[in-house]
Copies of this chain bind each other. A is one copy, B any other.
Amino acid sequence: MTRHVELVQALRRSGHRLTPQRESVLTVMAENAQHLTAEEILARVRARYPYLNKSAVYRALALLTELGLVNQTDLGRGRVEYELHRHPHHHHLICRRCQQMTQIDHALLATLGEKLARDFGFQADLDHFAIFGTCKKCQTRASKHSKRHSH
């Protein structure tokens, strides 16, 4: 069974209506492994189904997110990015200085999730985190820079 069919079934099982708008958003998401912005999704859907409004895209994505089929994340590029929910989970390290983005494995966050469950009974959504900071390269660049300036 294809990913697309699975997704359509999940939508119907949840009791929501399967509209062409929703299905076309789903299709685009299933065809693209990368992160997409709402505008990119709108443009790709319109290539095959031109009758689609901006609000419908946002509402479809909100629903798919609620159902756990899509992740939406602010990756620091000025607009939210959407990605089909994948297993196992992954996260991203993003350098504030050079914008370089690295994908990391969920294992690194798993113990955090367990601690929060154990200490607070809190079930954290650790599906797709964006962790900002400074990458290795930019740290050495910054320290050279400050050395040059300090004498």
Asked if A135 is an interface residue, CB under 8 A from chain B, the answer is yes
18 A-B residue pairings within 8 Å (CB atoms): A74-B74, A93-B124, A95-B122, A108-B115, A111-B111, A112-B112, A116-B133, A120-B136, A121-B136, A122-B131, A122-B133, A122-B134, A122-B135, A123-B139, A124-B132, A125-B132, A125-B134, A126-B131
Asked if A34 is an interface residue, CB under 8 A from chain B, the answer is no
Asked if A104 is an interface residue, CB under 8 A from chain B, the answer is yes
Asked if A52 is an interface residue, CB under 8 A from chain B, the answer is no
Asked if A32 is an interface residue, CB under 8 A from chain B, the answer is no
- Find chain B residues with CB under 8 A from A135 CB: 120-122
Asked if A9 is an interface residue, CB under 8 A from chain B, the answer is no
Asked if A79 is an interface residue, CB under 8 A from chain B, the answer is no
Pick the 8 closest A-B CB pairs, nearest first.
A121-B136, A124-B133, A123-B134, A125-B133, A93-B122, A123-B133, A125-B132, A124-B131
A residues with CB within 8 A of B: 74, 93, 95-96, 102, 104, 108-109, 111-112, 115-116, 119-126, 131-136, 139
Contact of A120 among B93, B109, B123 (CB under 8 A): B93
- Taking A108-B112, A108-B116 as known contacts, 19 extra A-B pairs with beta carbons closer than 8 A to each other, sorted by chain A number, are A93-B120, A93-B124, A102-B122, A104-B116, A104-B120, A108-B119, A109-B112, A111-B112, A116-B131, A116-B133, A120-B136, A121-B139, A122-B131, A122-B133, A122-B134, A122-B136, A123-B139, A124-B132, A125-B134
